[in-house]
Structure 1
């Protein structure tokens, strides 16, 4: 087992990495352009996630600076107890050991997720997609430079340049000890990882997020929130895919038509259930199975619902367990909705686009977990730890 690095060393590496990213900004963008030109362009969302521009680099640097300023998550006392026989017992947070991050397209994950895992005292194994290989190798070379500049072994950050077959072999029979795997990507990647992994996996699941417009909604707020959720960034897991409209809204059909018109101004393809299609003239959905889909595209489905309970039931049946929002001025109705919808993040009168470690004050995230163990929602620095029991005795026997 590797000896954990002192927090001063971990912070120094992160600070150096932030400086190197600034120094190598132009070179990193140039390398990324090679990845973009090599990409086939079949998937708009994938291509958007692949791009490294000034804003992305700014985000990487900021995440490293925020991580550097945060407290050490390792060694925090979570429970203290003195046994009747005099033994002192405490439970403290501890590093996992080695974390493997498997991801598609997003070179910023190489910095942000890698940084969170490193600050948490772990060795990092990175397995990025072939579409971002050159960008990832460039960033990993900066990691290695930052480690060397602080007299830390480069083995703390390792890139696995494996194809699918090699990755499967490694998952099933790792050539080194792996304590935790975090897949970041689409449902196929997550299913592949879960199927073959021989250690625990944190599922950073699909989005398929819902907004429910309740009968007591401020309809102006509703339109703004829906437009933001759908159009501000289609390529992210916190984007909006489904809208439910309460038919108890006075003249709900007029509101539905207005919403469709606004969405179409942003070139969003709008589909409706039978009631919404009849009220607005949009194309009707061909099957209820579409309610399960995450689109990652300029596409949305709008449905009508007759009650709050029906909305809750529909969301719980079809959503990805990620985020759901209710638009209502009635706080009691909102609380009932938020308590009973089974998603990692629940909102009243706000966009699902805020489900994000940085936006939640965590200073970035390793992933957004749609599992309930061991952490749900954005996994920040303070969540990326396991725990360990420390017992101090003086010869006690049982």
Structure 2
């Protein structure tokens, strides 16, 4: 598919898809119930991501309506230059071509990610997990209806109903052109895609996000921040898994006691280093590798840290490069921490739960990249493009 659809055509499909989802929401929810009934696992995060309810349907509709209202990301001039010989040189954004999205459990990705990829002029190949098959097929059927109603080929959005072996074969020897692959899921999925893919891959990696409670922290703010980050949505990659408490925090023991009590009220399993050994509610860390583990569960690790430089060092060693926060009243310390921590999103006195394309002003996201090329953090509509040089001359030769 070489020709990018006109922006009015792309927007018309997005608006139609929003209307179709509203019209057929009961069909999507029924298909999702079938997936939920078939899911036999005990992974709380997986089940939470798999479930589609009225609220998720509403979010799907809003994301499509917002996408339809956004500026066209294709053909945006990034640079212009007039050569000494008179040539006019331009650099403009351009579609990748064909984007493959491989994801687990989340039927809303079938709407949001496909919408972002389509709006940015790309053909989309969707490879969802078997656990959400019925939900995904119901949604793709609506995508095809939206395309058909606008006299556009259904080839623009294609669902790959492949098993693991078929997916591996496709990655190694694609039966059609693929320009970019974006895997969304656990580390095993990402490793599998990176091992077998023959084209560029943007990694939406693990979270394992840290909060550092600096010695000049507002303790009430710190408590609220940690509880929100840990318990608001355990299945989110922006959830908090690790807490580092400065050894010189005033009234540190009172803060730790309050934190433990509050976490226990949310049924969070707490593990701690030696500094928390006197608390019966805290299990001692038995394996230091737990510092680099992403939980996606009601589970948290708390430890004591000497100072801000040591906090930065520990975060850079063990985090997933996703999000980290410092809680402090000291602006200078906050700025130093934020500049030094090697994460896609860094926070001062705010929750890591805001690492989200919609929350950060992108109007939605395709994924949250923990890579540094070509986009870091939430990948929005304006990032799912490459660029192209346009040179206009009147006979110049070199």
* TM-score computed with the length of structure 1 as normaliser: 0.99
SS for the counterpart of 1:343 is: coil
SS for the counterpart of 2:359 is: coil
Distance across 2 between alignment mates of 1:103 and 1:380? 17
Distance across 1 between alignment mates of 2:207 and 2:66? 26
Q: 5 Å matches for 1:205-284?
A: 205-278=205-278, 282-284=282-284
CA RMSD after TM alignment: 0.8
**2:319 corresponds to 1:319:** yes
- Contact 1:253/1:279, CA 8 A, preserved across alignment: no
| Aligned twin of 1:183 | 183
Shift of 1:287: 1.6
| Aligned twin of 1:11 | 11
Greater shift in the superposed pair: 174-183 or 269-278 = 269-278
Distance across 1 between alignment mates of 2:249 and 2:7? 55
Moved over 3 A (4+): 278-281
Shift of 1:253: 2.1
Q: 5 Å matches for 1:100-119?
A: 100-119=100-119
Distance across 2 between alignment mates of 1:361 and 1:62? 14
**2:46 corresponds to 1:49:** no
SS for the counterpart of 1:111 is: helix
- Contact 1:334/1:348, CA 8 A, preserved across alignment: yes
Shift of 1:42: 2.3
Distance across 2 between alignment mates of 1:175 and 1:103? 20
Q: 5 Å matches for 1:29-108?
A: 29-108=29-108
Distance across 2 between alignment mates of 1:46 and 1:52? 12
After superposition, what is the alpha-carbon deviation per residue over 1:68-122, rounded to whole angstroms, capped at 9, x for unaligned?
0000000000000000000000100000000000000000000000000000000
| Aligned twin of 1:160 | 160
| Aligned twin of 1:343 | 343
Give the paired residue count.
Answer: 398
* Structure 2: stretches of 5+ with no match in the other structure: none
Distance across 1 between alignment mates of 2:248 and 2:154? 61
SS for the counterpart of 2:74 is: coil
| Aligned twin of 1:129 | 129
Shift of 1:256: 1.0
| Aligned twin of 2:310 | 310
Shift of 1:2: 2.1
SS for the counterpart of 1:278 is: coil
| Aligned twin of 1:199 | 199
Distance across 2 between alignment mates of 1:182 and 1:282? 38
After superposition, what is the alpha-carbon deviation per residue over 1:216-252, rounded to whole angstroms, capped at 9, x for unaligned?
1100000001000000100010011000000111231
| Aligned twin of 2:296 | 296
Distance across 1 between alignment mates of 2:280 and 2:256? 7
* TM-score computed with the length of structure 2 as normaliser: 0.99
After superposition, what is the alpha-carbon deviation per residue over 1:1-40, rounded to whole angstroms, capped at 9, x for unaligned?
4210000000000000000000001111011100000110
